[in-house]
Structure 1
Amino acid sequence: MRDRTLGGLGALAGLLVSSSAALAAGIGQPEPWQMDRQVPVTENARDIHLFEQGIHWLSFGISLFVLGLILWCIYRFGEKRNPVPSKTTHNTLIEVAWTIVPVLILVAVAIPSFRLLRTQLSDPKADVLVKVIGHAWYWSYEYPADQGGGFAFDANIDEDKLPKLLGADNEMVVPVNKIVKVQVTSTDVLHSWAVPSFGFKIDAVPGRLNQFWFKADRAGTYHGQCSELCGARHAYMPIVVRVVSDEDYAKWLSEAKTKYARIDDGAARFASAR
């Protein structure tokens, strides 16, 4: 009996370890049969997740209430129980109620929604600045010289890497727990730079510079894709962002200066949009 108990506890421990490992492996990328958002690693992404869950529960409650009303009306006002139908044309109290209650619900939904928008549209001082340029069909990344960069590189899909269609030959690298400001534009058609774990999606528009920011609080590799239908190879524009420690980021910057193409005017490109 004791051996069976120990064996069962060992199996349970193994299951928990394997489940934890599977969860960790799935951070920053989609999973087969996934029904929920990817694991959030920014405050904004967590707020979006909570807001979305609240909306789902609110919608579920309203649906149950309406279903209950329908079933009650079928039961109460069926022909057998109500052979003489009412000739009531309206009810002022009910009409006022079904006007005011939805308005109150929308106001309750709007408050956290506006808070999220305020966070997204705020413009904190950046620790790291990266310019992202969409092309048909790949991404370019530029790191300004005044922040230790002064280089640029292209990121094309690497179909030999996993996860499938989400691997790139070069990765955008940023430090953990630092405010990263991303400025996005395009050289040809509309693209959209999106990383679900960061809770952000921003359009890349030719002739326009859009920007947003994120602060990832967990090191790791996070995947995204172009989220604007942009042509024949729209599905082959993966986004890979590697979040590393300050020491690893400094090391990567040093290596990147010799690996990637230099841009002498990097600081000037960013100065006007800060």
Structure 2
Amino acid sequence: MNSSKSIASFFAALLLMLAPQAVFAQANPANIEPMAPEAATPQNDVSPLVGAGERGDAAAGADAYVPMGPEMIKGQPESGAFGFQEQYSKDGQYALWMHNAILLPIITVISLFVLALLLWVIVRYNRKSHPKPSRTTHNTLIEVIWTVVPALILLVIAVPSIRLLASQYEAPPADAVTIKATGYQWYWTYTYPDNGDFEIISNMMPEDEAEAKGFPAQLEVDNRMVVPVNTPIRLQTTAADVIHSFAVPSLWFKLDAVPGRINERIFQVEEPGIYYGQCSELCGARHAYMPIAVEALPRDRFEAWVRAQGGTVGDEPAGETVELGEGAEAADGAGEDAADGTESEAEGAENDTVAVGARGTGRRS
């Protein structure tokens, strides 16, 4: 009996010691350092590409990637807002139409009908106005009505709902761009297997830095997930530690990221711009500080961005380098170095070259 009390006392004391630390961690999540690795090459520090022939000339010109500024923000939460965000994907626009044209009117009519029926019963069948209780046990007409009408309502809701669900899980078309989003505590990485398999590391931008640049605090990131507009995006999600959830409300997209499993859905952004989201699955002390930023670009600028990260477009050979000086020549084996995110030094080169590889971006300046 005494030993049981001693064990209970020990665990109680341990709990009392750990509880203040847990509370402090939740109250001061900024003191917990994220586990994101140091990134190699800042996104904005990559010089305009100088590739082979026409590709280099185009990338170094008007089509070179420049990160969008705060004036291009389109999808973000608003303080005190009531309702859905404006939608910038076909699925989102259809879902918003369904809500406004079908669900909201049906809900309003049903609510008003039930309220009116309740008031009528209170007035008509109270003890004063109707002292003798009704002994009605059934009414065939009423029973048919309250069976058929709800069935019709469900049918009206089901048809567009099934269509919306089916469109979100269609097989990706041949021209879809594949992106793999991996959730970590507490940041995201984005891999582009169709474009050389390079990887972007995305952390929340410090609040003071974001506000100084005109971006919303706790939503802006150091490196965004960049996608082409009007192109199907095949997004695959997974996680490295606990369950996360990739959610961007203005694109009508939410997909869980589960360790050891790949989930997949397609979406398509209709307009260039910046669209914010957040991890939507409780994942630890810094769950609220794990934002998502999607930057949608015209196709030519997206391809320039891909090349700036050391990636490839179409049938281009993998592993080409980004030149930071004139007259540089790529060394043999630069492709392998680029895939690992390491620097390759070309023998006999007049200037250094940097291979932007699998973990090739850092904080934007």
TM-score range, shorter chain: 0.7 to 0.9
Residue 188 (str. 1) matches residue 206 (str. 2): no
Amino acid at match of 1:216: V
Contact 1:27 1:38 in 2 (8 A): no
**Match for residue 135 of structure 2?**
87
Q: 1:100 is paired with a residue of what secondary structure? A: helix
How far has the Cα of 1:198 moved from its partner?
1.0
Amino acid at match of 1:263: A
Match of 1:171 among 224, 230, 235: 224
Q: 1:65 is paired with a residue of what secondary structure? A: helix
**Match for residue 70 of structure 1?**
118
Distance 2:258 2:220 in 1: 24
Distance 1:244 1:108 in 2: 37
Residue 52 (str. 1) matches residue 99 (str. 2): yes
Q: 1:193 is paired with a residue of what secondary structure? A: strand
Distance 2:299 2:283 in 1: 35
Larger Rg: 2
**Worse-matched range after superposition: 227-236 or 71-80:** 71-80
How far has the Cα of 1:77 moved from its partner?
2.2
1:17-74 Cα shifts (integer Å, max 9, x gaps)? xxxxxxx876211112111211111110011112222212211110100111111222
**Paired residues, what number?**
238
Residue 104 (str. 1) matches residue 152 (str. 2): yes
**Match for residue 345 of structure 2?**
none
Q: 2:182 is paired with a residue of what secondary structure? A: strand
Distance 1:181 1:198 in 2: 14
**Match for residue 226 of structure 1?**
279
**Match for residue 166 of structure 2?**
118
Contact 2:234 2:265 in 1 (8 A): yes
Distance 1:26 1:89 in 2: 61
Contact 1:152 1:263 in 2 (8 A): no
How far has the Cα of 1:262 moved from its partner?
4.2
Amino acid at match of 1:65: F
Amino acid at match of 1:163: P
Distance 1:148 1:200 in 2: 23
Amino acid at match of 1:243: A
**Match for residue 156 of structure 1?**
203
Q: 1:229 is paired with a residue of what secondary structure? A: coil
Q: 2:127 is paired with a residue of what secondary structure? A: coil
Contact 2:184 2:242 in 1 (8 A): yes
Amino acid at match of 1:219: P
**Match for residue 183 of structure 2?**
134
Are residues 242 and 187 of structure 1, via their aligned partners in 2, closer, same or farther at CA, if it must alter by over 3 Å? same
Q: Percent identity?
A: 45
Match of 1:36 among 65, 79, 83: 83
How far has the Cα of 1:149 moved from its partner?
3.2
After TM superposition, the structure 1 = structure 2 runs for residues 8-19 of structure 1, keeping only pairs within 5 Å, are: none
How far has the Cα of 1:212 moved from its partner?
0.8
Are residues 190 and 64 of structure 1, via their aligned partners in 2, closer, same or farther at CA, if it must alter by over 3 Å? same
Q: 1:263 is paired with a residue of what secondary structure? A: helix
Residue 244 (str. 1) matches residue 297 (str. 2): yes
How far has the Cα of 1:249 moved from its partner?
0.8
**Match for residue 352 of structure 2?**
none
Amino acid at match of 2:120: W
Amino acid at match of 1:189: V
Distance 2:338 2:166 in 1: 36
How far has the Cα of 1:110 moved from its partner?
1.0
**Match for residue 263 of structure 1?**
339
Distance 2:305 2:116 in 1: 60
Amino acid at match of 1:122: E
Distance 1:48 1:262 in 2: 42
Q: 2:75 is paired with a residue of what secondary structure? A: coil
Distance 2:263 2:132 in 1: 64
More helix by share: 1
**Worse-matched range after superposition: 163-172 or 66-75:** 66-75
How far has the Cα of 1:94 moved from its partner?
1.4
Distance 2:308 2:276 in 1: 23
**Match for residue 31 of structure 2?**
none
Are residues 25 and 56 of structure 1, via their aligned partners in 2, closer, same or farther at CA, if it must alter by over 3 Å? farther
More strand by share: 1
Name stretches of at least 5 consecutive residues in structure 2 with no aligned partner: 1-70, 311-320, 323-336, 341-365
Contact 1:176 1:218 in 2 (8 A): yes
Contact 2:72 2:274 in 1 (8 A): no
1:63-88 Cα shifts (integer Å, max 9, x gaps)? 10011111122222233432322222
Distance 2:264 2:243 in 1: 15
**Match for residue 204 of structure 1?**
257
Amino acid at match of 2:279: C
**Match for residue 28 of structure 2?**
none
